[in-house]
Structure 1
Amino acid sequence: MKRLQVSLMTLALDNQGLIVPGYTHLQRAQPVLLQHLLLAYVEEIERDAGRLIDCRARMNFCPLGACALAGTGLPIDRFMTSDALGFTAPMRNSIDAVSDRDFILEFLSANAITAVHLSRLGEEWVLWASEEFGFITPSDSVSTGSSIMPQKKNPDPMELVRGKSARVIGDLVTLLTLCKGLPQAYNRDLQEDKEPAFDSVKTILGMLEVSAEFALNTTFNRGRIQKALPAGYLDATTLADYLVKKGVPFRTSHDIAGKSVALCTLKDCQLLDLSLDELRSISPVFENDVYEFLGVENSIQKFISYGSTGSACVAEQIDYWIKKLELQ
């Protein structure tokens, strides 16, 4: 997990200042710094690691000595064996020790959440590698050709990451289904807990390794991205914020910004291209300083809230992760 975080941070550090379209509903929404987007995945992976650490705290209790279900009449020392094997303590209840598999369920759940995060990363990069987006170009070392079409360069590793998530989720569902109707205490059904547990570990490790390698062998196409930025009026919300700062209620500002976009659509131009007279024909509130809010570069600089995509905020995030991941 840390290796993947470092790979994503390496990409972020190599692409300082690069603005990309941010999406909601897979529709263009607002401009964001690429670093900010990559750090979102770094944050998710950090929580994934935290879930495993938390899970270990609950798993680390020793069942040894519980015997079949009732314990034993022999003079054993369960605390000694627990200490010797590095457990926190022996499990308190012998029936619980042999009959429940919630410790594996929690572990597989943590893996499944990680797999979902990696699958989303895979989906985004598969989209971005397409000709329609063209935002990234994976190197030949992490791409494959087509068996029939000689021009193809497919981001297969991330497609497999996306696909393998189904296995990890399936492993969790397998064990949930296995345990759902079992009476206390041990039942032979529980021998089926091993295969999904081992498969989940093997698969998630492979997904993490492939994702990290893919990140280190991917180039962001600055020219293509910058050429694509004007589409979608990404600065429209910043225009609405400008009006709010002028004292206009946001509901009204939203409407005025929408009418400004409609005028741009009619004229086939950007908000930055509208003259002050044209803007004032929609609302007399507009003044010359509105142009300080228009365009994706200006828009980025207006984000100032903690954790936002503003340059200063992202610089703080980068500094935090450089120190946490010991990249200096």
Structure 2
Amino acid sequence: MALWGGRFSDAPADAVFALSRSVDFDWRLAPYDLRSSLAHLRVLKSSGLLKEDVASQIESAIRELIDEVAIGKFVAIEDDEDVHSALERGLTEKIGDVGGALRAGRSRNDQVATDLKLFAIDHMMEISQMILELQKSLAAKAAEYGDAPAPGFTHMQHAQPILFGHELAKHIHAFARDLDRIQDWLKRTSVSPLGSGAFAGSGLGLKPEVTAKDLGFASSSANSIDGVSDRDFVAEALFIISMVGVHLSRIGEEWCIWATSEFGWAKVADAYSTGSSIMPQKKNPDMAELARGKSGRLIGNLTGVLAMLKGLPFAYNRDLQEDKEPLFDSIDTLILVLPAVTGMVATTTFDRAKMLAAAPQGFSLATEIADFLVRANVPFASAHEAAGKCVALCEAKKVELHELSDQDFVGVHPQLTPEIRKVLTVEGAIASRTTVGATGGTALAAQLASANSDIKAAEKKLSDQMSSFSAMMGE
């Protein structure tokens, strides 16, 4: 059912209708459109623009449509241009032309902006819930390997020994920032566009602030032009999703490296691996690779929307039809990837012996020599130089640091006494890292305790938010 056309003498050409038609992808906004229609109906009724009996007919029809859409009984058809025209067709099929009375005081411009916000809020909370599950898996795995020494890396080179649980725990904090970003986004997105009309507001004396409260928003748009043209919430949601994707990609990259024969640290569970169609011995960490690959898709959706938005003048422009598919795709993609990565993390086992054996390799204990000298009041620059000379001597002799003789150490620096051997151990190096956020056992235990506490608090807050949103949608 067309929502316009009175001033036109010809119907749209087939090519025009095909290009304009969006119902194939915006139909998923139907539940949110129907809920916002209930809020709009109440304001029309309270403003005296609809009689009681008419409002009751429309409300009954809307509630029937809510149920029918939910079970797939009512769906869009080929002649429907978009979700809004499809649902108005549904109303008029049930109650006749009186169904068109609901259109008073609103436009598809403010309608779709409201629907898309409700959709995005709903699904960003779902994503938050999945991120929390991944955080819990990471925290459990970090605790499991909280006493396992391993080499730490910078520039993909051995750097210093660390506890492997510390390596895993870093991802918890990255996802915590993503959760914070979603919470900040929820605050900024809690502004209702409904009541902005096409772009200038309504002359019917409606109360946008009332519909905003009805729909769970904190406020209504302070500027009706901004209300219909703002898509910051889409771009920002896509940025957040892209950052989550980047963090998932980092996990994917590390898992791929650890699972190689060259490293041989990670044993990815069969349930989270795939094989080869030609090489029967292969066991590939495909979930890690897919997580890494999908991040590019998420970034692409963000850049596409930003490019679309950058030159739009004044109020609503039809270009904004291009905001939905990238958002839908990014949300769908992330909802696919997160559970798979969570399961992969939870079920992977690591080879403690190989990680321990690798921990001191690459002269990773050299910093301990520098720190030893600093504690003896040697300026760090001189201590750093001496430690570097010890490494050079090892390379010349083809030995490891702990294999240098007492004479070798004293020859490099007079204060490198035999006491140096007490710190030239992986265990000693790790245990000395006791500051907040460091890799030592006590510091790691405190870090994980704090992270688990934060996860529980975030779960409680999100549960309350989701319950409130669900109650609003199902009122």
How does the TM-score come out when normalised to structure 1? 0.97
Contact 1:19 1:32 in 2 (8 A): yes
Q: Which runs of 5+ in 2 are unaligned?
A: 1-130, 458-475
CA distance in 1, matches of 2:383, 2:262: 33
Structure 1 residue 146 displacement after superposition = 1.2
Distance 1:100 1:302, change over 3 A: same
C-alpha distance after superposition, 1:5-44 (max 9, x if no partner):
1111111122131011111111111111111111110011
Could you tell me which residue of structure 2 aligns to residue 23 of structure 1?
Answer: 153
Contact 1:271 1:295 in 2 (8 A): no
Structure 1 residue 225 displacement after superposition = 1.5
Could you tell me which residue of structure 2 aligns to residue 285 of structure 1?
Answer: 415
Matched, 1:57 2:187: yes
Could you tell me which residue of structure 2 aligns to residue 43 of structure 1?
Answer: 173
Structure 1 residue 326 displacement after superposition = 4.4
- Count of aligned residue pairs for this structure pair: 327
Which deviates further from its counterpart, 190-199 or 294-303? 294-303
Name which structure has the greater RCO, CA cutoff 8 Å, separation 6+.
Answer: 1
CA distance in 2, matches of 1:311, 1:15: 11
CA distance in 2, matches of 1:88, 1:258: 60
CA distance in 1, matches of 2:455, 2:230: 37
Could you tell me which residue of structure 2 aligns to residue 118 of structure 1?
Answer: 248
Bigger radius of gyration, 1 or 2? 2
Could you tell me which residue of structure 2 aligns to residue 101 of structure 1?
Answer: 231
Contact 1:135 1:224 in 2 (8 A): yes
> What CA RMSD, in Å, does the superposition of the two structures yield over aligned residues?
1.3
Structure 1 residue 268 displacement after superposition = 2.5
SS at match of 1:22: strand
SS at match of 1:232: helix
Which of 216, 233, 246 is 1:86 aligned to? 216
Could you tell me which residue of structure 2 aligns to residue 164 of structure 1?
Answer: 294
Matched, 1:197 2:330: no
Could you tell me which residue of structure 2 aligns to residue 206 of structure 1?
Answer: 336
Contact 1:31 1:235 in 2 (8 A): yes
The aligned runs of 1:165-244 (5 Å cut-off) are: 165-244=295-374
Contact 1:238 1:302 in 2 (8 A): no
Following superposition, which runs of at least 4 residues in structure 1 exceed 4 angstroms of deviation?
Answer: none
CA distance in 2, matches of 1:324, 1:101: 31
Which deviates further from its counterpart, 8-17 or 160-169? 8-17
C-alpha distance after superposition, 1:83-116 (max 9, x if no partner):
1111101111000011121111111111111111
Structure 1 residue 267 displacement after superposition = 2.5
Could you tell me which residue of structure 2 aligns to residue 266 of structure 1?
Answer: 396
Which deviates further from its counterpart, 315-324 or 211-220? 315-324
Could you tell me which residue of structure 1 aligns to residue 142 of structure 2?
Answer: 12
CA distance in 2, matches of 1:175, 1:321: 34
Letter in 2 for 1:122: G
C-alpha distance after superposition, 1:152-194 (max 9, x if no partner):
1110001000000011111111110110111011100001101
Could you tell me which residue of structure 2 aligns to residue 74 of structure 1?
Answer: 204
CA distance in 2, matches of 1:106, 1:325: 23
Contact 2:161 2:360 in 1 (8 A): no
Letter in 1 for 2:329: D
The aligned runs of 1:144-159 (5 Å cut-off) are: 144-159=274-289
Could you tell me which residue of structure 2 aligns to residue 325 of structure 1?
Answer: 455
Could you tell me which residue of structure 2 aligns to residue 300 of structure 1?
Answer: 430
| Higher normalized helix content (fraction of residues) | 2
Could you tell me which residue of structure 1 aligns to residue 108 of structure 2?
Answer: none
C-alpha distance after superposition, 1:104-137 (max 9, x if no partner):
1111111111111110111011011111111111
Contact 2:191 2:221 in 1 (8 A): yes
Distance 1:189 1:22, change over 3 A: same
SS at match of 2:236: helix
Aligned sequence identity (%): 44
